């Protein structure tokens, strides 16, 4: 949510700068006009906004083996051996399978509890887990 507000604020700022420039910048023989500086600034800010949008909207993926417990399915990731409780769209995910899922991490409400991974979609099923 904070990223959306940051992006909205950045876009509002860009619009303010773009609309605050005069319609016709005064030309000068002594150097670049103010309009050229403002145009360059707006271009740089637009580039920064595009990079922020791409970084913020990038979907996270984790890969690991799925097991079941009394609360449902869990996944232990391969890279950092973190265990997540799976929630969300878990259709097609089976215990004992090595999968890559796309989604986001949700912090546990209780201290020291297992973090939850809200699955948006099953990205790839690699087949059975190998010990």
What does pLDDT average to in each consecutive run of 10 residues of the chain (131 residues)? 64 67 54 76 86 74 92 91 91 92 84 85 90 69
What pLDDT does residue 9 have? 72
pLDDT in the model for residue 32: 64
Domain 60-128 sits in CATH at 2.40.50
Secondary element (H or E) of residue 104: strand 97-106
Radius of gyration of the chain (CA): 24
Q: Is residue 89 a contact partner of residue 102, using CB atoms and an 8 Å limit? A: no
The DSSP code sequence of 23-63 is: SSPPP-TTS--HHHHHHHHHHHHHHHHHHHHHHHHPPEEEE
pTM of the predicted protein model: 0.56
């Amino acid at each position: 949510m904070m990223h959306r507000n940051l992006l909205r604020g950045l876009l509002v700022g860009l619009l303010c700068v773009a609309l605050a420039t005069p319609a016709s910048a005064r030309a000068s023989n002594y150097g670049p006009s103010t309009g050229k500086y403002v145009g360059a600034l707006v271009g740089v800010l637009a580039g920064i906004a595009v990079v922020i949008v791409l970084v913020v909207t990038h979907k996270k993926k984790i890969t690991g083996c799925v097991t079941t417990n009394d609360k449902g399915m869990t996944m232990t990731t391969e890279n950092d051996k973190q265990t997540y409780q799976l929630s969300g769209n878990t259709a097609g995910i089976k215990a004992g399978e090595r999968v890559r899922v796309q989604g986001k991490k949700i912090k546990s409400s209780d201290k020291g509890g297992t973090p939850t991974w809200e699955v948006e979609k099953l990205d790839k099923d690699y087949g059975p887990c190998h010990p």
